[in-house]
């Protein structure tokens, strides 16, 4: 286990050397995709961004598109089984995970996770999660130190744990989960439930240690692994929605007013900023985590967000209106 810890430590030092204060954030451009994007994830080791691009049944397959973070252009388009919704990556094993739910040729609902090699860009296989009808897979998160993948299973109201290519544990939660996030240093997992609660999971024992009421309908969730604080979006359709801030144990610290119907969120632990996609007003709120206040609002229409804490860039997938990813510079 020493090697993974050393790699994580090296990346942390590299990120910290980039600086701790961001100045004005700005939109740097867009990247055109093959279709409207869904989930998005960043590999800070090789500066690659991965976007789930469904065909919405137009083809018997979906796409995973790779963006080179140096040039912000698409460098690879990979055909995958039709499960392109949520994305996560384990940079230590160079494995990309894409999860989603679709109906098979027999009309049976299938929720599966597709594994893709970051080296060869080839599909390695699929992992069956559930055949229960419902919203299916809503989110993915990887703990690179343990090799565990956490799957937000909205059909069965549970967080499923995948290790070595198979589901090893199913953790019931008190509601339908949407976003899921993991802090690899504390080995804690956080699940945003659409009933407005956040479930805190001790990943060492795979048990829920707290269920905290935060908002009305929680959606996206992200954790700052430096501070331990957790940020979750409250996707209520209102011009005064909020982002809930929790401590590592699940205690509510505050609620921050943001834009209309926020869903996607990610944090940069180096600049200590959080980025929130407000889906109904076409903006991204920038939160200063030191003060838990909105420090800027950018005219970016988006749904899902991924930040690269090494390069200081943020990638925002469009909100079902156009096949683009918008690139934001933090500095």
State phi, psi for 61 to the nearest 5 degrees.
-145, 165
Question: Residue 22 has what pLDDT?
Answer: 52
Residue 214 pLDDT: 96
| Parallel, antiparallel or unpaired: strands 86-90 and 158-163 | unpaired
CA 149, CA 100: separation in Å to the nearest integer?
14
- What φ, ψ does residue 131 adopt, rounded to 5°? -120, 15
Tokens of 275: 């980025």
- pTM confidence score: 0.94
Pick from 222, 219, 228, 193: which is nearest to 208 by CA? Answer: 193
Q: Cα angle at 17 between 11 and 22, to 5 degrees?
A: 110
Distance CA 223, CA 244 (A): 12
73 bridge partner residues: 68
Tell me how far apart the alpha carbons of residues 256 and 186 are, in angstroms, rounded to a whole number: 25
Report the alpha-carbon angle 282-285-286, nearest 5: 145
Closest to 6 (Cα-Cα) out of 45, 43, 47 = 45
Q: What is the CATH number of domain 2-329?
A: 2.130.10.10
Provide the sign of the torsion angle of the four alpha carbons 47, 115, 145, 229, taken in this order. Answer: positive
Kind and range of the H or E run holding 7? helix 2-17
Full pLDDT tens readout for the chain, 331 residues: 334 444 454 445 444 444 444 568 999 999 999 999 999 999 999 999 999 999 999 999 999 999 999 999 999 999 999 999 999 999 999 999 999 999 999 999 999 999 999 999 999 999 999 999 999 999 999 999 999 999 999 999 999 999 999 999 999 999 999 999 999 999 999 999 999 999 999 999 999 999 999 999 999 999 999 999 999 999 887 777 999 999 999 999 999 999 999 999 999 999 999 999 999 999 999 999 999 999 999 999 999 999 999 999 999 999 878 999 999 999 8
């Amino acid at each position: 286990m020493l090697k993974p810890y050393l790699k994580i430590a090296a990346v942390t030092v590299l990120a910290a050397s980039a600086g701790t204060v961001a100045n004005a954030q700005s939109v740097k451009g867009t990247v055109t995709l093959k279709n409207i994007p869904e989930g998005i994830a960043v590999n800070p080791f090789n500066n690659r961004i991965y976007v789930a691009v469904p065909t919405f049944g137009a083809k018997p397959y979906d796409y995973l598109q790779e963006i080179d973070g140096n040039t912000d252009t698409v460098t690879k388009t990979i055909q995958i089984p039709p499960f392109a919704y949520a994305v996560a990556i384990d940079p230590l094993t160079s494995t990309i995970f894409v999860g989603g739910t679709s109906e098979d040729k027999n009309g049976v609902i299938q929720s599966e996770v597709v594994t893709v090699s970051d080296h060869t860009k080839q599909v390695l296989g699929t992992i069956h999660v559930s055949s229960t009808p419902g919203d299916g897979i809503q989110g993915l998160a990887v703990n690179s130190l343990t090799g565990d993948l956490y799957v937000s299973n909205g059909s069965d109201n549970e967080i499923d744990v995948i290790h070595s290519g198979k589901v090893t544990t199913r953790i019931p939660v008190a509601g339908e989960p949407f976003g899921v996030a993991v802090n690899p240093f504390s080995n804690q997992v956080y699940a945003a439930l659409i009933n407005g609660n956040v479930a805190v999971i001790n990943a060492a024992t795979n048990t829920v240690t707290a269920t905290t009421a935060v908002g009305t309908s929680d959606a996206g969730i992200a954790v700052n692994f430096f501070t331990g604080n957790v940020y979750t979006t409250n996707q209520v359709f209102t011009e005064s929605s909020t982002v809930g801030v929790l401590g590592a144990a699940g205690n509510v610290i505050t609620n921050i007013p943001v834009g209309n119907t926020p869903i996607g969120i990610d944090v940069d632990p180096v600049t200590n900023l959080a980025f929130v996609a407000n889906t109904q007003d076409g903006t991204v709120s920038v939160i200063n985590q030191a003060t838990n206040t909105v420090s800027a609002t950018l005219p970016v229409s988006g749904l899902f967000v991924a930040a690269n804490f090494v390069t200081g860039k943020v990638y925002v997938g469009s909100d079902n209106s156009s096949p683009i990813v918008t690139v934001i510079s933090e500095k």
